[in-house]
Structure 1
Amino acid sequence: MKKWYGGNDIDPNDEHRDWRMIDKIIGETFEEQKKARRWGVFFKLATLAYLFVILILAYSAKPGDASTKEKHTALIRIDGPIGADSPANANAVAGALRKAFDTETVEGIILAINSPGGSPVQSGYIYDEIKRLRAEHTDTKVYAVISDLGASGGYYIAAAADEIYADKASLVGSIGVTASSFGFVDSLEKVGVERRHFTAGEHKAFLDPFSELKDSEVDFWKTVLGSIHQQFITVVKEGRGDRLKDEEKLFSGLIWSGEQALELGLIDGLGSAGYVAREVIEAEDIILYGGQKSLLKRLSEQLGASIGQSFGQEVSSTIGLGHTPKVYY
């Protein structure tokens, strides 16, 4: 009698039936592997082709390349907090500024500002670069356009422009300096923790949140903030000149609406970036400079994957001013 094994009849009396069975199983396994390899190659080629198409589309969608041959308005975004690790950092903004100024077909430059402020140093770097480039390219004007918010460091940068525009409901100003922290003097004692803090230098534990405040150090810290505030006032006066109205509260840190800012001389007019490009610069075509995501990042977003995304870890040093509050415009 014959029996079925794997769809084939093999004589159970055949003395080589076991070897025939093993040979058949191995053959079928190899055949399945060949099929799997063929499908694997197919899917790899299909994925490669898909990536190639996306690459072409992403590259061709990069803003501003071909159309920079025509007369246009350059737009540079300053969005969000201003800081070395933020998108609105001095290196990025300065690079976009230099590219815009060096493009012969740029009729004017708009700084599209929507920022609450941030680092005085980064704001200062950007301000200085605008002033330097304006001096080198006297035929190219810079216009700051504030949307929702142009406060503190955001306004500091705007003051470097030839003219400033905002919406009537924009928030403008906040010409002041701030630094804050918390005090935990009694907290450790309440939870039964002993703190051991060793320093060399009379004021190295300056503004330590776990130590009592010293009047002399508070007074000193106020002089530091006052010095930075005066730097802010100076650049605003230099940038705005006699357009500023004599208002005692102007440099008090208060913030104003666009309409109020116009009356105070903090801005020159009311209007959007589109309005300035169309009516003031008279070059309605706007091209974004800087602020563009890398090609790899655009690809990864279109594919729905996080390709090549880098992660950084912010490490604070215990040697420098580790416990001193950061200063912000």
Structure 2
Amino acid sequence: MVSSGFLDAIIPLRFRKSVPVVTHVRLDGAIGIGTPMRPALTLKSVNDTLERAFGRKGISAVAISVNSPGGSAVQSALIHTRIRQLAGEKKLPVLVFCEDVAASGGYWLACAGDQIYADESSVVGSIGVIYAGFGYVDAIAKLGIERRVHTAGENKSILDPFKPERIEDVEHLKSLQAEIHDAFKTLVKARRGARLKTDDPDIFSGAFWAGRQALARGLVDGIGHLHQVLKDRFGDKLVVKNVTPSQGWGLKRLGFGIEVTDIAENTMDVLETRALWSRFGL
């Protein structure tokens, strides 16, 4: 007689009807903005991982952990749309788990879930659009620096930090922000439906909340952690299979062939990424 333990060892999980399998993907980092040690979240960087997670045979669901302070609205939309496309094609439920932060674009990603869970201390929300910069007009004047900019098109140097801010430039920026904000609000309303407490005037103000506050506003469906929530739903025999990005071993990844321009760009990316995380106390 062949023991069940021996059969379990040789029979692939997808052929064991009694064993539910859930694939798990982590979306971690700023969206569209990366650093040498923390690559950006973009559709290009995560598409292969998502396809492998949804493409596994015989799975019961796909779980996605989100830990992101936001970033590019376009990349947030692209990743969200891809998740929903794959979920529809494979007819699989998607459960999202908010970690430290699922705010701004990070919450855009979280809305790809059919259900969203958070820790009590997770920071959730920030449904808004932000632009931040500096003005150096007086600084360069004191240093005796002359700014020389030549453009074809009167609006090509809009919001140049070395030139005085113009009212019409700010109005144009705000009109763009309003359009992006409307798209964000429309998506959240569509995905959260009646669960969302839209009568709360702060929901779309850019405010953010801890887990239970987010739950009270309908931004998440429950307080809980990935393994416990999944076991409660699929049973103690559940197997969670982590799907991670493929790792290349190019010379640049090992630190060779990095140019001076790369260092300068990476430094700015680090500062911008740091500013995103610091907004949420991290």
TM range (shorter): 0.7 to 0.9
CA deviation vs aligned residue, 1:107-140 (integer Å, no higher than 9, x gap): 11111111111111111111111121122122x1
Give the corresponding residue for 2:31: 82
Give the corresponding residue for 2:280: none
Tell me if 1:284 matches 2:238. yes
Count of residues in correspondence between the two structures: 247
Query: Kindly tell me: are residues 187 and 117 of structure 1, through their superposed partners in 2, closer, same or farther at Cα, counting changes over 3 Å?
Result: same
- 1:87–1:291 Cα contact (<8 Å) kept: no
Letter in 1 for 2:225: S
Q: Partners of 2:263 and 2:157 in 1: how far apart? A: 19
Give the corresponding residue for 1:177: 129
Give the corresponding residue for 1:131: 84
Equivalent position SS for 1:249? coil
- 1:75–1:111 Cα contact (<8 Å) kept: yes
Letter in 2 for 1:232: F
CA deviation vs aligned residue, 1:267-322 (integer Å, no higher than 9, x gap): 0111111122211244632111123544x48xx9xxxxx858664754999xxxxx
Describe how 1:223-262 pairs up with structure 2 within 5 A.
Answer: 223-245=175-197, 246-262=199-215
TM-score, normalization: structure 2? 0.79
Q: Partners of 2:31 and 2:203 in 1: how far apart? A: 22
Tell me if 1:153 matches 2:105. yes
Query: Kindly tell me: are residues 247 and 307 of structure 1, through their superposed partners in 2, closer, same or farther at Cα, counting changes over 3 Å?
Result: closer
| Rg (Cα) greater in structure | 1
Q: Partners of 1:231 and 1:269 in 2: how far apart? A: 25
Equivalent position SS for 2:215? helix
Letter in 1 for 2:132: S
Letter in 1 for 2:187: V
Query: Kindly tell me: are residues 195 and 291 of structure 1, through their superposed partners in 2, closer, same or farther at Cα, counting changes over 3 Å?
Result: same
**Unaligned 5+ runs, structure 2:** 1-11, 266-271, 277-282
- 1:274–1:284 Cα contact (<8 Å) kept: no
Q: Partners of 2:257 and 2:57 in 1: how far apart? A: 35
Letter in 1 for 2:25: I
Q: Partners of 2:149 and 2:30 in 1: how far apart? A: 33
Letter in 1 for 2:208: I
Q: Partners of 1:167 and 1:189 in 2: how far apart? A: 50
Letter in 2 for 1:161: G
Give the corresponding residue for 2:49: 96
Equivalent position SS for 1:248? coil
CA deviation vs aligned residue, 1:63-92 (integer Å, no higher than 9, x gap): xxx766664211100112111653422123
- 1:100–1:106 Cα contact (<8 Å) kept: no
Tell me if 1:119 matches 2:68. no
Describe how 1:6-17 pairs up with structure 2 within 5 A.
Answer: none
**Unaligned 5+ runs, structure 1:** 1-65, 301-305, 318-324
Identity, in percent, stands at 37
TM-score, normalization: structure 1? 0.68
Equivalent position SS for 1:251? coil
